[in-house]
Chains A and B, each alone.
Chain A
């Protein structure tokens, strides 16, 4: 869960064309998945919960583009709703981790000294528990409830924003523009809005996409363990668990959520692509 973004400054520097192409491709893939998640449920229009037991395990065909599952439900509809649910929850968790994380990171740099040390210790403390474990503990607290998953996910994600914001805001805060603004008497909010946000935005955008994808994977893992959301809610991890026993008689079933997740990860990896030294 703790993202491995090597060489953060490299992202802020001017990137080579090949890397830029890769990053654009990554964004495009993620955008595609997002569109599928947002518009898919409306466009497809089939009720994801509607069962027809007589149509169990049908292969992809005209009536059902991705086939049907064990209960005769449309896999395509379920996939779209699952994508929306997982991505929605993951996005919200990532955002609610980003805002305090970034603010705290900037604060650490701004104040320095004891405040910074205390905040770094706090971040370290949270890092003592591996991310999935933390989410698992919170999910075990109230199984199947959205708020528990949401809090667990946010808690495990915020540290990365803190660290990135702290590192990335250092050159900005030490720079001339900010010094000038301070001399002119502008307050913290102005500096935040005018200087920090534009400087941090590209890095944070990347990180947001990255942690959203990670959160989706974590939700899937939790569904596997059995403390995630409960059936019949369509969710990617739950779908994978449901389809796993049929890997031989109906392999198209598990291929659907797995492909979606692989697309997500691919987009993620392309997004953080960096200089491949020649």
Chain B
């Protein structure tokens, strides 16, 4: 008995180490990849970046040569490429993200400030997706072919096909303007989170409902569920005790994949709703060719993405004992 427990504990530890190692390696890769691309971005931009940045700072009515020279002194664009690249990587490794070329503030401070807003948005979207998608998916799984099932399928197709910005405008027009129920944009009202979160959350909910349905069907068809029924448990009890846990793993794994959808959608939705998050900041930085900000926000978004995947991995590990012992491929 002791041996078995020790083996199990050992296997779990190995599984954990594997996950952590993988995600750490991803963070390093993220830093290298984003850092290198941003480095070449800074070098490849045509023309004089100093004037460009000065225009971003002072507005195009006031930009002139003296302003550009002042900015150039800050940049120091004259070192050889390979040396500069090494220095660039070194800076990222030290978490020195530099200062924004447009506002002059420290990048990490701005990014940290915006990260909170994006995390709020992501969490709210997830909540909406889970609240709307899970119950519908479970119900459809238990009652396939019913009208809720068909309705969910139809709306899933529709919601996945509409580009997020169109959905955003439609929601704006319908909910905020016609009904006057919610503020349209910005983040000063308590309710301003709702529309952006709804835009992202509805798309997620659609997919989540379908996946949950499929997972429920699998669970309902599985031998352990049958066994629970033969034990005398009602459908509902069997479901709660055995079905849900088994269905949970693919659903949670699906959520991990959909993190991509969230990250990508955040960029578009934040811009449209003037939500001061990282996606908004990234788009801005790209417009203003503010390379340190581009790098900082990209690293941050990638970091959030990897962290989220780590949490999903941990959740899957906790839910599915087979993964701990490594008996599934």
Q: Check if B205 is an interface residue, CB within 8 A of chain A.
A: no
Residue among A4, A125, A130, A277 with the highest chain B CB neighbour number at 10 A: A130
Residue among A4, A140, A240, A262 with the highest chain B CB neighbour number at 10 A: A140
Interface readout for A252-268 with B: 1 if CB under 8 Å, 0 if not? 00100010011001100
Q: Contact check, A224 vs B287: say whether CB atoms are below 8 A apart.
A: no
Q: Contact check, A266 vs B26: say whether CB atoms are below 8 A apart.
A: no
Q: What are 18 of the A-B contact pairs (CB < 8 Å)?
A: A1-B264, A6-B214, A124-B22, A125-B26, A126-B33, A128-B33, A129-B30, A129-B298, A129-B302, A130-B263, A130-B302, A130-B305, A133-B263, A140-B41, A221-B267, A244-B165, A247-B173, A274-B214
Q: Contact check, A262 vs B33: say whether CB atoms are below 8 A apart.
A: no
Interface readout for B12-44 with A: 1 if CB under 8 Å, 0 if not? 000000000010011101101110011011001
Q: Contact check, B29 vs A225: say whether CB atoms are below 8 A apart.
A: no
Q: Which residues of A contact B258 (CB under 8 A)?
A: 4
Q: Which residues of A contact B211 (CB under 8 A)?
A: 6
Q: Is the interface of A mostly helix, strand, loop or mixed?
A: helix
Q: Check if B162 is an interface residue, CB within 8 A of chain A.
A: yes
Q: Contact check, A240 vs B166: say whether CB atoms are below 8 A apart.
A: yes
Q: Which residues of A contact B158 (CB under 8 A)?
A: 262
Q: Contact check, B260 vs A131: say whether CB atoms are below 8 A apart.
A: yes
**With A127-B26, A129-B33, A136-B286 known to touch, is A4 a contact of B257 (CB < 8 Å)?**
yes
Q: Check if B198 is an interface residue, CB within 8 A of chain A.
A: no
Q: Check if B114 is an interface residue, CB within 8 A of chain A.
A: no
Q: Which residues of A contact B220 (CB under 8 A)?
A: 277
**With A2-B260, A141-B37, A269-B160 known to touch, is A133 a contact of B166 (CB < 8 Å)?**
no
Within 8 A of A (CB), among B236-293: 250, 254, 257-260, 263-264, 267-268, 271, 282-283, 286-287
Within 8 A of A (CB), among B132-157: 144, 157
Q: Which residues of A contact B250 (CB under 8 A)?
A: 6
Q: Contact check, A140 vs B286: say whether CB atoms are below 8 A apart.
A: yes
Interface readout for A141-165 with B: 1 if CB under 8 Å, 0 if not? 1100000000000000000000000
The docked-state distance in angstroms from the alpha carbon of A276 to that of B44 is 51
Further contacts, 4 of them, CB under 8 A, given A132-B263, A276-B217:
A4-B254, A132-B267, A224-B165, A240-B165
**With A130-B302, A240-B163, A276-B144 known to touch, is A225 a contact of B26 (CB < 8 Å)?**
no
Q: Is the interface of B mostly helix, strand, loop or mixed?
A: helix
Residue among A6, A129, A224 with the highest chain B CB neighbour number at 10 A: A129
**With A130-B305, A141-B41, A142-B44 known to touch, is A258 a contact of B166 (CB < 8 Å)?**
yes
Q: Contact check, A125 vs B161: say whether CB atoms are below 8 A apart.
A: no
Closest to B156 in A: A269
Q: Check if B184 is an interface residue, CB within 8 A of chain A.
A: no
The docked-state distance in angstroms from the alpha carbon of A248 to that of B161 is 21
Q: Which residues of A contact B101 (CB under 8 A)?
A: none
Kindly provide the distance from the CB of B151 to the nearest chain A CB, expressed in whole angstroms: 15
Q: Contact check, B221 vs A137: say whether CB atoms are below 8 A apart.
A: no
Within 8 A of A (CB), among B34-60: 34, 37-38, 40-41, 44
**With A124-B22, A142-B44 known to touch, is A225 a contact of B271 (CB < 8 Å)?**
yes
Residue among A131, A141, A261 with the highest chain B CB neighbour number at 10 A: A141
Q: Check if B218 is an interface residue, CB within 8 A of chain A.
A: yes
Closest to A257 in B: B163
Q: Check if A210 is an interface residue, CB within 8 A of chain B.
A: no
The docked-state distance in angstroms from the alpha carbon of A128 to that of B305 is 8
**With A2-B260, A138-B37, A225-B267 known to touch, is A128 a contact of B22 (CB < 8 Å)?**
no
